[in-house]
């Protein structure tokens, strides 16, 4: 844990970007942008919460034509919070905001891999993450797109790191 604090102490730009991220999300929350549970019962990508609550693994197995990871995450939240759509919507909204925070961190790592200066990092963050309508929409629209973007950022970062030093040790 001390290595994380040491890393953050040495990288003020990352700390400032994370702070900007939280400020922007607080700003949009005060504007009234929040998750709406009204569409959850009609989403064909999600299993019904009662199925996930009663028979989690069997339901995931028989729904093989849908994204299994998103339904398994949804099922974990069903097990924790119950089958109330508003509670599930709030929990998945927080999960999506955490995914966006990790996207922000990987965005910083990718900018550093390309040797982007701090001013451009701030500018790109504001344009593509801080004020991005699509990222804000998918944080509040309970869908797996935000998780897909996070995986894409992780894969991009891993490929760039591997291309610079092509071994599997570190």
The domain spans of the chain are 2-164
pLDDT at residue 2, as a whole number: 57
| Residue from 56, 44, 60, 76 nearest 143 by CA | 44
Q: 154 near 146, Cβ under 8 Å?
A: no
pLDDT at residue 143, as a whole number: 86
pLDDT at residue 47, as a whole number: 87
pLDDT at residue 170, as a whole number: 61
List the chain residues with pLDDT less than 70. Answer: 1-9, 168, 170
DSSP string of 108-158, one letter each residue? HHHHHHTT--HHHHHHHHIIIIIT-HHHHHHHHTTSTHHHHHHHHHHHHHH
> Which residues make Cβ contacts (< 8 Å) with residue 107, sequence separation at least 6?
17, 124, 125, 128, 129, 153
> Which residues make Cβ contacts (< 8 Å) with residue 74, sequence separation at least 6?
46, 47, 49, 52, 88, 92
0.85 cut: is pTM over it? yes
pLDDT at residue 61, as a whole number: 87
| Nearest-angstrom CA–CA distance, 144 and 160 | 25
Return the residue matching tokens 């991009």. Answer: 156
pLDDT at residue 7, as a whole number: 67
| Residue from 130, 30, 146 nearest 98 by CA | 146
Q: What share of the chain is helix, strand, coil (3-state, %, to 5)?
A: 75, 0, 25
């Amino acid at each position: 844990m001390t290595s994380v604090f040491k890393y953050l102490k040495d990288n003020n730009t990352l700390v400032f970007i994370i702070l900007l991220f939280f400020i922007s999300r607080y700003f949009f929350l005060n504007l009234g942008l929040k998750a709406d549970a009204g569409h959850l019962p009609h989403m064909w990508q999600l299993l019904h919460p009662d199925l996930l609550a009663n028979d989690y693994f069997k339901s995931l197995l028989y729904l093989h034509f849908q994204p299994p990871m998103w339904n398994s995450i949804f099922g974990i939240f069903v097990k924790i919070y119950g089958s109330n759509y508003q509670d599930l919507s709030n929990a998945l909204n927080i999960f999506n905001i955490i995914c966006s925070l990790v996207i922000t961190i990987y965005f910083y790592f990718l900018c550093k891999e390309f040797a982007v200066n701090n001013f451009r990092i701030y500018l790109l963050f504001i344009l593509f993450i801080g004020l991005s309508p699509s990222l804000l929409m998918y944080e509040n629209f309970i869908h797996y797109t935000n998780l897909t973007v996070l995986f894409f950022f992780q894969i991009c970062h891993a490929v760039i790191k591997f291309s610079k030093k092509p071994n599997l040790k570190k």
